[in-house]
Structure 1
């Protein structure tokens, strides 16, 4: 009985639960205070906005759990958009081929990050800040200031088509399936346990037989590929390939991952919390836009939530630790001789 109560306290006192409660509160308050929040149209726009963020946040969660980070994801998205646009200008009109090339390009760009981090032992923060600028610059080399916007309507409308009978786009089901796959890998396989081990102590993980460098390399490859997939969706959703597509999106992704309870130092986090944070940020941003809150204020709010996401879990952990220490110790049972 005591174990069941302790388990219940750990579940209902977790950061994930706090995020879910915050999401419910934001939705209820928004629906009551802001006209349009309760409408199906609102949730359609929320879904469309969070799809690229969620796609990138899934592998980013695994990367951060290992103690690394990738800040080049938005630039990978932008470069993928421009390459798709340039291929379209060359007369390549096969969407499956464009998607495959985009994914391969993203994987290659992620591999470059992985080689620098795992092959040369450079810090991922410095490497991906550099490739953030490099990949964005290459995007401008490909298209310059031009925009490619004459894609077939069946491509662009098909990418944002709703699920039959609903207003939510069908692509959200792809995100849900990928989230399930990443969740199983992270929380129900030896690979996931290895990722947490790397984040807690990479050297100790090596002694247990985990190939730390190889695993991290493939995580960067996966992050690049998923960023490219987000770039494909971005291009088709807005029917436009531009070099500045997705500029600043890395802030939203990192904010969602850290707000979801993933430790910036690695070794801790749950994917369900990240998904809840992605939805929370999407709902909050769209609700504030309906309330005519300026874009600069939205950026300030996102930055503030990023700070909260770093400080909040640590404060919660400190409070729980103090409460645990204040509990009276369970007296040892007396023996018959006593």
Structure 2
């Protein structure tokens, strides 16, 4: 039993998630020494506020990518949710809890549309969600145009970003932590999670073993749409503003976090711990660079570069391991 525990600890220590955590510590140490304000209480507050919507979307996106699919419409779902939330408020729906529930239902519906085309009609998720990315963002501009709705009750806008008593970290991170725990249990400790990995490795073989591939993928897209809508609600309340361009380009940050977290773009491999570590690492790096007055365009370049590394890196590492293994086996 002791040997098994030691083996598990060694596996965790040598995992990609551990490497990301070490990288996070290095970013904090280097940033804390070279940039004023990094690693202070206010810094971690802004890191948390920035990463909450990304983490909310990254949780179901991880499950989707593990099955070999992808959803690029998430930022547009967020934006459309924001405008509908603003529109309902302006049009006289004066119950904010009701508005939020309707927005979550809208997100589920938008995700179901993606799921219907991908799981129901068998269309490639990349093509489908690129299409709905443009469609949903266009609908967001139809709802509000270039207007912004900003007259929400102060108790809601300040409450959404309120801190945990005694800390500067927003209480909303507790919601993210609970959802992450649920997603981790589903993925790593249930037959459903094992089925997701099986689908990612070989969907046809998974179907023959009795796994409901189409139905599972459909509900995963519904979950992604719902969580994107929840992120949209948080985004609107955080900035006290509903605009059609809210969350523009956020899908890049989400996909970068998922792939940098060790999830294979081809499906069948990855875990939530690495994704959570990647979300925190990217948020920390981005905020540290902002404090160092790095231009926004450069931040986008950094995110894109990390996305490329996360895709190319594992393949290069695999090739090197295979070459090393062949050389060792060739040695007499």
Partner of 1:180: 181
Q: How much has 1:4 moved relative to structure 2?
A: 6.6
What are the superposed Cα offsets for residues 64-87 of structure 1, whole Å, 9 maximum, x if unpaired? 000000000000000000001011
What are the superposed Cα offsets for residues 215-243 of structure 1, whole Å, 9 maximum, x if unpaired? 00000000000000000000000000000
Partner of 1:222: 223
Consecutive unaligned residues in structure 1, runs of 5 or more: 330-338
What are the superposed Cα offsets for residues 140-167 of structure 1, whole Å, 9 maximum, x if unpaired? 0000010000111001000000000000
Q: Distance in 1 between matches of 2:229 and 2:9?
A: 40
Is 1:112 matched up with 2:141?
A: no
Q: Distance in 1 between matches of 2:3 and 2:232?
A: 50
Q: How much has 1:314 moved relative to structure 2?
A: 2.3
Q: Distance in 1 between matches of 2:296 and 2:171?
A: 28
What are the superposed Cα offsets for residues 110-162 of structure 1, whole Å, 9 maximum, x if unpaired? 00000011111110000000000000000000000100001110010000000
Normalising by structure 2, we get a TM-score of 0.96
What are the superposed Cα offsets for residues 225-264 of structure 1, whole Å, 9 maximum, x if unpaired? 0000000000000000000000000000000000000000
Is 1:241 matched up with 2:228?
A: no
Instruction: Please state whether the residue corresponding to 2:288 is helix, strand or coil.
Output: helix
Q: How much has 1:326 moved relative to structure 2?
A: 5.9
Partner of 1:32: 33
Q: Which is worse superposed, 12-21 or 173-182?
A: 12-21
Q: How much has 1:322 moved relative to structure 2?
A: 4.7
Partner of 1:94: 95
Q: How much has 1:318 moved relative to structure 2?
A: 3.5
Q: Distance in 2 between matches of 1:65 and 1:147?
A: 37
Partner of 2:23: 22
Q: Distance in 1 between matches of 2:324 and 2:261?
A: 23
Partner of 1:276: 277
Q: How much has 1:6 moved relative to structure 2?
A: 5.5
Instruction: Please state whether the residue corresponding to 1:258 is helix, strand or coil.
Output: helix
Q: How much has 1:319 moved relative to structure 2?
A: 3.9
Q: Distance in 2 between matches of 1:324 and 1:3?
A: 26
Contact residue 15 and residue 313 of structure 1 kept, 8 A: no
Q: How much has 1:94 moved relative to structure 2?
A: 1.4
RMSD between aligned alpha carbons?
1.7
Query: How many residues were matched structurally?
Result: 329
Q: How much has 1:8 moved relative to structure 2?
A: 4.8
Partner of 1:206: 207
Q: How much has 1:328 moved relative to structure 2?
A: 7.4
What are the superposed Cα offsets for residues 196-225 of structure 1, whole Å, 9 maximum, x if unpaired? 000000000001100000000000000000
Instruction: Please state whether the residue corresponding to 1:253 is helix, strand or coil.
Output: helix
Q: Distance in 1 between matches of 2:179 and 2:320?
A: 35
Q: Distance in 2 between matches of 1:322 and 1:58?
A: 34
Q: Distance in 2 between matches of 1:36 and 1:46?
A: 12
Consecutive unaligned residues in structure 2, runs of 5 or more: none
Contact residue 145 and residue 243 of structure 1 kept, 8 A: yes
Normalising by structure 1, we get a TM-score of 0.94
Q: How much has 1:15 moved relative to structure 2?
A: 1.2
Q: Distance in 1 between matches of 2:7 and 2:150?
A: 57
Q: What does 1:6-85 align with in structure 2 at a 5 Å threshold?
A: 7-85=8-86
Is 1:296 matched up with 2:297?
A: yes
